[in-house]
Every structure is written in C-alpha cells, then in structure tokens.
Amino acid sequence: MRSKTKFWAGVVAFAFMIENAPVVHAQYGNAESPVPRVKRRAARQQTAVADDSEPTARSRRESHETKQSRYLLTGADGPVELLREEVTSYDELPFESACDLECPTFWEHRNNVWGEFLYLRPRGADVAYATPVDGTLSTSVPVGPQAVAAFGYNAGFRIGGAWALDRSSSFTANYTWYQASASDSVSLAGGGSFLRGDTVHPSTVNVAADSFDAQADYDFKMQMIDANYKSLFWNGDDFAVNYVLGLRYAQIQQEFDATYSILGTTSVDTNVNFNGVGPRFGVEGERLIGERGLMVYSKGAVNFLFGSNSADYIQTNVFSGVQAQTALRETRVVTVPEFELGVGWQSANGSFRITGGYYLAAWFNMMTTPEYLSTVREVPNSFERQAKTMTLDGLNLRAEWRF
C-alpha cells in the first residue's frame, strides 16, 4: 500500500513540474513565414510585459547582440540554463526601440503611395533653324553663329503606388508627365548679312534682301505608364535588393514651328510623334546608413518599346501658300536604359520616406525633329532612315507614405 502511495505521489509531482515549465517560442524572422504583422505585434507586446522583470533595457539589447536567449527551467535539482541561437532581424529589436510597437523589417514590402517632382532636360533634339550668311546666293558662307532652339531644364512629375502581395513582393504602378518648351529669335541689322532658313526646303526661295528676322518655338511632351511586379532578390537587416518585371507605355510628341521674313513671311511646321509599348526589366537596391534613418539607393532598368513614328512637314508662304508638304510613317523598336542614384531618409518605423537623386535615361533609335528635318531637306529627297539617340537627365525629389 505504501509503495502505491509513493508511485502516485511521484506521478503527481512530475505532472506538476511539466505544467509549470515555461514553453519556449521561436520568434518570426523569415520572409517566407506566413505569420501576419498583427500577431507579431501582439507577440512583441507580450514579450515586453514578460521582460519587465529584467534589470534594464540595456541588458535586453546586449542579449540580442550576443544572438542568444537564456531560459531558466525549475526542477527538483534547481535551475537549469538553456541557450538558443536567434535569427538576427529587424523584428527582434527590443520593445524600447524607436519604432515602438510596430517595427517592420527594412526590406519588407508594404502598401504605399508617392509623388515625385522631376527637373529634367532633353538632349540630342535641339534644332538649328537659321544661319547668318554674307549674301543671297547658295554659295554664300556663314558669317555668324547659328540660331538654335534648345531645351533647358523643365519641371515634370511622377505619381504612383504599390500593393504588397506579401512581405517579399508587390505590384506597383506609376504615371509620368513631363513637358519642355524652348523659344528663340534672331535679328540682323543689315550691312550685307542675311539669314538663311535652315529648316526651309532648299528648292524654294530661302534667302532674300529683307530676310533679317527669324523665330522658332519648340515643344517636347512625354507621358509614360509603368506597371510592374517587384520581388525581393537579396536582403539583410539594413539592405534590400529587388528585381522588377513590368510593362511600359510611352508617348512622346515634338512640335516645332519656325517663321522667317522671306519675301513676306514663310513658316515651317513639323510634328514628330512616337507611341510604343513593351517589357521592362530592372533592379532596385537600397541600404540604411547608421541609426538615424539615412539611406542610399540606386535603380537601373532597361525598356524595349515596340512602337510607331508619325511625322509631317509643311512649309507655307503668305503670298505663295503651301510650298512644300510631306509626311512619314514607320515602325521602330526603341531601347530605353535608365539609371537613378540618390540618398534619402525614412522615419523610425519606415512609414514616411523622402528621397532625392540624379536620373538619366537614353532613348536609342529615336526619330527626333532635327533628324526628320534633315531627311525632308535632302535633295533629292531620299528619306533615308537615321537612328538618333535622345537623353533625359536631371534631378528628382520624392515623398512616400507606406502603410
């Protein structure tokens, strides 16, 4: 009877020890884990309450720096100390960190909306429209600098947003609008010099004794829509590299108008338009610097736009009416590599960001206004294809809210 009593007493004591032993839970630290942010937040709150018994917050941070956790299990022979390796991640920072309860990882994809200010300049599309010469004959030689309609820096904008599919991937979309304008004029006081119209068809009257004035107006308009799938490729506690697969639609319009005082007034008008759509591939990287939210970033992408060009030319004179008129339609594949490099700052929990940097894009195999004018004015007209490169470069400033 006494042996049975001892046996059941031992069973009850063992069950009591098991019931009161703490259970060790591993923290969430992988991009593949499906645990939602709400549950992680609740877990951090429970951890914070449990950690109140420890001496100081500093001791908790030191515990993370050693990448180990200590657990004490009570038993019949006294406390037993266990050590466990931890995964280092932004989620595992102490409760007292600057991001308070909500502390997403740096690399984590989140829903966001953003707006961006662009300050860009088109290059490679300037038009020389008039040249001072020493006479009215075709053999006259230049006696001064050419008058050029050239673009400067002009403002534009880009807006967009992202929808996070999970912690490591998202769908993004954005719209870009940009417009540049240029106006130029030149006048001669006489004295044996005249203006030759460099956009006027050479088979028409292009220089006369009263051709002392010329003026040009030039507009450049660009619109783009991008739709992308963005996914994490490589990451750490303070850096992230994502790859981008997407589709781009682009429209570029170039409108040029020149007016000359040649036996009255002669005007030249051209319109060169491009519409194209195609795939885009890119890589985006960013890295935190220090503990103040400063960061650096870079973006690179290449776009292949399958599109069509339409261009038209008309020359009119106030007395003679239409003197020359033509148009051109063709298809092209335009390759557009683009690169961006800059710096930024984000709030403690990463919900608000400001970034700014330098942007450069090259449009290969484009039809530009000077290219089209050169084919129209060639005698005899061959309309031989000319592949030109146009670039856009300048500064950008972006504000982003992530949630």
Q: How much is the pLDDT for 7?
A: 60
Domain final position from 59, 92, 125: 92
Q: How much is the pLDDT for 44?
A: 52
What gap in Å lies between CA 330 and CA 273, rounded to an integer? 11
Q: Is residue 105 part of a domain?
A: no
Q: What is the pLDDT along the chain (403 residues), one digit of tens a residue?
A: 555 555 665 655 555 554 554 433 333 334 444 444 445 555 555 554 444 444 444 444 444 444 444 444 445 455 544 444 444 444 444 434 445 455 678 899 999 999 999 999 999 999 999 999 887 776 788 888 999 999 999 999 999 999 999 999 999 999 999 999 999 999 987 667 888 889 999 888 644 545 789 999 999 999 999 999 999 999 998 999 999 999 999 999 999 999 998 767 899 999 999 999 999 999 999 999 988 999 999 999 999 999 999 999 999 998 889 999 999 999 999 999 999 999 999 998 899 999 999 999 999 999 999 999 998 988 666 656 667 899 999 999 999 999 9
Q: Would you state the structure tokens that stand for residue 276, as one six-digit string?
A: 């194209």
Q: How much is the pLDDT for 139?
A: 74
Q: How much is the pLDDT for 202?
A: 86
Query: Do 35 and 82 lie in a common domain?
Result: yes
Query: Do 73 and 132 lie in a common domain?
Result: no
Q: How much is the pLDDT for 395?
A: 98
Q: How much is the pLDDT for 79?
A: 52
Which CATH number covers residue 224? 2.40.128
Amino acid letter, 219 = D
Query: Do 214 and 331 lie in a common domain?
Result: yes
Q: Which of 131, 165, 135 is nearest to 148 (CA)?
A: 131
Q: Is residue 99 part of a domain?
A: no
Q: How much is the pLDDT for 92?
A: 47
Q: CB of 263 within 8 A of CB of 228?
A: no
Q: Report cis status (omega within 30 of 0) of the bond before 36.
A: no
Q: Is residue 76 part of a domain?
A: yes
Q: Is residue 43 part of a domain?
A: yes
Query: Do 139 and 46 lie in a common domain?
Result: no
Q: How much is the pLDDT for 340?
A: 98
Pairing of strands 169-187, 147-149: unpaired
Domain final position from 58, 92, 126: 92
Q: Is residue 97 part of a domain?
A: no
Burial of 117 (0-12, 13-18, 19+ CB in 10 A): middle
Query: Do 88 and 120 lie in a common domain?
Result: no
Cα dihedral: 71, 74, 80, 85 (round 10): -20
Query: What is the domain range of residue 253?
Result: 112-402
Q: How much is the pLDDT for 234?
A: 95
Q: CB of 33 within 8 A of CB of 40?
A: no
Q: How much is the pLDDT for 85?
A: 46
Q: Is residue 375 part of a domain?
A: yes
By residue count, the chain amounts to 403
Q: Is residue 396 part of a domain?
A: yes
Backbone angles phi, psi at 97, to 5 degrees: -65, 165
Q: How many domains does the chain have?
A: 2
Query: Do 231 and 369 lie in a common domain?
Result: yes
- 0.75 surpassed by pTM: no
Q: How much is the pLDDT for 78?
A: 53
Query: Do 169 and 298 lie in a common domain?
Result: yes
Query: Do 297 and 351 lie in a common domain?
Result: yes
Query: Do 141 and 58 lie in a common domain?
Result: no
Q: Is residue 106 part of a domain?
A: no
Query: Do 45 and 189 lie in a common domain?
Result: no
Query: Do 118 and 86 lie in a common domain?
Result: no
Domain final position from 92, 121, 139: 92
Query: Do 142 and 204 lie in a common domain?
Result: yes
Tens digit of pLDDT for each residue in 152-201? 999 999 999 999 999 999 999 999 999 999 999 999 876 678 888 899 99
Q: How much is the pLDDT for 379?
A: 65
Q: How much is the pLDDT for 190?
A: 66
